[in-house]
A and B are shown apart, each in its own frame.
Chain A
Amino acid sequence: MNDRSEGRAGSGWQNIYRDWASDKDAFKQVPWGKAMMWIFLVSDTFVFSSFLIGYMSVRMTTTEPWPVPSEVFALTIAGQSIPLILIAIMTFILISSSGTMAMAVNFGYRRNRVATAVLLLVTALLGASFVGMQAFEWTKLIHEGVRPWGNPMGAPQFGAAFFTITGFHGMHVSIGVLYLLVVAIKVLRGDLDRVGNYQLVEIAGLYWHFVDLVWVFIFAFFYLW
């Protein structure tokens, strides 16, 4: 098999078994770092899904009524109680950060060093504000008496599920902010121009979009259900 046919990004089962049966690398033309990031993200998918399935289990089996998220997470703004408003804002912020991240990757491949770095910094800033709002939300709930072992609103498992799931996600966002700052510094210094490609930005982007993706599921299952 010559290099040309290996390199062809094809479709269909023929290409799949040819790639997997070639006794070399299965992921042809996929940079090593990108393949490894994907494998990490698949493993992370299992972690988050296990948390969400655990949450599903306790919510289905608890003998007390589950607190209504729409009321628990309501905020009073200008004398009016608006359901879930903070969570909605956090969702929009995270989606926007995903948008700026996608643009950063795009400008990276266009070799636009400054635009890439600025967009990475904007993404990190949006991520940091997300974590800030989450800290606010945690503080509010802790003041209202929500604990991992109980709460005044209903099923005691609510707190355990809430702190585990959002805590783990918030930790991912925080680490992602640091990761993006490191990448932004490397971009600004011109490291990637010296290496000759901007794959590092795309790999960081995969991680960041994944964090956004996990939030989509948390938003749907924990806050809206």
Chain B
Amino acid sequence: MASSEGQQHPIGLYLKIWALLFVLSTLSYLVDYFHFQGLLRWSLIVVFMLLKAGLIVSIFMHLAWERLAMVYAILLPPLCLLVLMGLMAAEADYVHFSRVLFFGANGG
């Protein structure tokens, strides 16, 4: 088995990714620190989050170097969760309306 030696990458690669993760975390903290609001805030948060997640999964977890058959087996199933998210978001107005209707404005 050729891969019994596992993943061999230069240490420098990990240090660079580490530094990059620090920078991205600082940036996302600054989004809060400078009180960005609205669409700008949400899009910045999501962009930094996805960049961080991508770096961790692809480099630290070595997914960038795994066989595609496994990469897809890992990355595709969680997409179902987007459906659940969509359903819950679509129901939100109705649930909110029901809360107000049955519990009153302060009924939580």
Contact = CB atoms under 8 A, between A and B. Distances in A.
A220 B45 contact: yes
Contact of B2 (A20, A29, A95): A29
Q: Decide if the interface of chain B is mainly helix, strand, loop or mixed.
A: helix
A12 B25 contact: no
Contacts of A19: 67-69
Contacts of B32: 70, 83-84, 223-224
A42 B77 contact: yes
B50 to A, nearest CB: 9
A7 B9 contact: no
A212 B52 CA distance: 10
A105 B62 CA distance: 11
Interface in B1-36: 1-9, 11, 14-15, 17-18, 21-22, 25, 28-29, 31-33, 35
Contacts of B100: 63
Contact of B84 (A30, A41, A53): A53
B60 A98 contact: yes
A213 B108 contact: no
Contacts of B41: 224
A57 interface: yes
B85 A42 contact: no
Contacts of B11: 103, 106
A219 interface: yes
A45 interface: yes
Contacts of A41: 74
B70 A63 contact: no
A91 B7 CA distance: 27
Nearest to B28: A224
Contact of A199 (B6, B15, B49, B99): B6
A225 to B, nearest CB: 7
A46 B4 CA distance: 30
A164 interface: no
A106 to B, nearest CB: 6
B45 A38 contact: no
A7 B99 CA distance: 58
A31 B99 CA distance: 51
Contacts of A91: 25, 29
A157 interface: yes
Given A46-B81, A103-B14, A60 B89 contact: yes
Interface string B81-94: 10011001101100
Nearest to B77: A42
A16 B41 CA distance: 39
Given A96-B18, A109-B5, A109-B8, A11 B81 contact: no
Interface in A13-62: 15-16, 19-20, 26-31, 35, 38, 41-42, 45-46, 49-50, 53, 56-57, 60-62
Given A62-B108, A220-B28, 12 more contacts: A7-B2, A30-B67, A35-B70, A42-B74, A46-B77, A50-B81, A61-B99, A95-B21, A98-B18, A105-B6, A197-B4, A213-B57
